[in-house]
Structure 1
Amino acid sequence: MNMKKLITLIFVFFLVNNLQAQYRDGADFKLGLTAHPTIGWIRSDVNSINSDGVKLGFSYGVLGDFLFRESYAFSTALKLTTINGKTESTEGATTNKQTYKLQYIEIPAKLKLLTGDDKEVRFYGEFGLGNAFNVRAKADVKSNNSANTAEGLDIYKRTSFYRGSIIIGGGAEIATSGKTRILAGLTFDNGFTDIQKGDGALKSSYLGINLGVFF
């Protein structure tokens, strides 16, 4: 069994067991929506390829928090997330600047810690595993060699299907009316798997400026 399948199985096992325990204990469930920008970049372990700055992306989808204690929750989501980034590579006298446009379905598994629920504002911190599955991959290439220049190049077959990451973040939930709460915070999603197939190691990360609402 390869590492990709093993990580997926561990995540599914963890999710199912947590949901069963939460429903058995009569835990609360919060459902919400999110839509927010991401600031992405790509790190390189290849000598001839360097990171070339950040690029804006976007993320939106459904949030779910399963509270199994007053201040502890299992937090997950189903999001469509675009992680963009730029690299610069040199081959002899040729310099290529490549902009990656990678789109994933994200299903994170996080532990969320919250302050007491007797306040209109609850602060939180979270830590967990990011699980993302590639659904589209394109690239723009600018080069001093016109033969290498391309726009909207489909690179899906050259990219990895699974992207694993470590997530750390924090923010606040602000009560408005009834059970409705506005979510605002920051998330650092640090990728640790190669985004491309074959040799080399390019790893994508992003900073998410979280905005959402729980109902």
Structure 2
Amino acid sequence: MKKLLLPLLALAATIGTASAQVEIGLKISPAITSLRAESTSTNAFSSDGSQFGFGGGLVVDYFFGENYAFSTGLLLTGKGGTINYNDVTNDAIQQPIGVKLPITTQYLELPLTVKLFTNEIASATRIYFQVGGSLNVPIGTRISKNKFYVDPATATENKASDYVYFIDADALAGAGVEYQLGKSTKVFAGLSYHRGLVDIDHYFESKRDFKDVTIKNSGVALDLGIKF
């Protein structure tokens, strides 16, 4: 991740030149998200379905050339999915159980990306490609739509936020079309893929002593926006 961020930050440092152009706008991003879960065969963590997420917020494009921009902003995004795993009850019987865990987390997201634009492919229309990453901080988590969750194996109630690590980071790749409506107004539409790089498990290994559990976010978003 450091190798990815350093070039992006270097590009951001060039923005302060007099020739730089800044475009600010808003976007919404409905998405299909899921959790990639893995572990040893003892607990057999696996993904068990996706969910609908929704994001949106401020986008800022700093152009350091006619066809090149450093793109950032501040977004509120919803991520999550359902995972399955095997456990045993914490009693004298030690009964095996299968657990299905739907996790939904809302993140405050800071994109750190580069956008590459083609020349006009039609009147006032350009294609763009976006690559980079994002830093994401969880601001709210629910399990089975509740802020608190009772572990079925231990019968202990925990905050849903205790299950999720305090930071996440994504690799991001996308493409879309931008159309100029007027002198300074543009609209855009595209698709983006977000692949989580950080293991967000903050419960099973640290509090349950499970071995080699990995849970990461993934998602595909439809990006719709306007710049002024």
Same fold, TM-score > 0.5, yes or no:
yes
In 1, the alpha carbon distance for the partners of 2:199 and 2:118 equals: 36
Residue 49 of structure 1 corresponds to which residue in structure 2?
Answer: 45
Given candidates 198, 201, 204, the residue that maps to 2:214 is 201
Residue 69 (structure 1) aligned with residue 74 (structure 2): no
Residue 27 of structure 1 corresponds to which residue in structure 2?
Answer: 20
SS in structure 2 of the partner of residue 156 of structure 1: helix
Shift of 1:158: 2.8
SS in structure 2 of the partner of residue 21 of structure 1: helix
Counting aligned pairs with the same residue, the percent is 27
Shift of 1:122: 0.9
Residue 100 of structure 1 corresponds to which residue in structure 2?
Answer: 103
Deviations 1:1-27 (CA, angstroms, capped at 9, x unpaired) = xx9xxx5xx959954x54442222421
Residue 139 of structure 2 corresponds to which residue in structure 1?
Answer: 135
Residue 86 of structure 1 corresponds to which residue in structure 2?
Answer: 82
Provide TM-score, normalisation by structure 1.
0.84
Deviations 1:104-147 (CA, angstroms, capped at 9, x unpaired) = 11001101100125841110001102110111111119xxxx98
Residue 156 of structure 1 corresponds to which residue in structure 2?
Answer: 161
In 1, the alpha carbon distance for the partners of 2:123 and 2:175 equals: 17
In 1, the alpha carbon distance for the partners of 2:182 and 2:7 equals: 36
Alignment RMSD = 2.6
Given candidates 39, 44, 68, the residue that maps to 2:32 is 39
Name the CA shift for 1:159/1:119 in 2 (closer, same or farther; >3 Å): same
Residue 177 of structure 1 corresponds to which residue in structure 2?
Answer: 182
Structure showing greater Rg = 2
Name the CA shift for 1:178/1:57 in 2 (closer, same or farther; >3 Å): same
Residue 110 (structure 1) aligned with residue 113 (structure 2): yes
- Number of aligned positions between the proteins: 201
Residue 224 of structure 2 corresponds to which residue in structure 1?
Answer: 211
Structure 2: gaps of 5 or more residues:
89-95, 206-212
Structure 1: gaps of 5 or more residues:
none
In 2, the alpha carbon distance for the partners of 1:11 and 1:133 equals: 17
SS in structure 1 of the partner of residue 189 of structure 2: strand
Task: Please tell me the residue identity of whatever aligns with 1:208.
Answer: A
Structure 1 runs (4+) greater than 6 angstroms displaced = none
Name the CA shift for 1:148/1:128 in 2 (closer, same or farther; >3 Å): same
Q: Give yes or no for contact 2:8–2:114 (8 Å, CA) kept in 1.
A: no
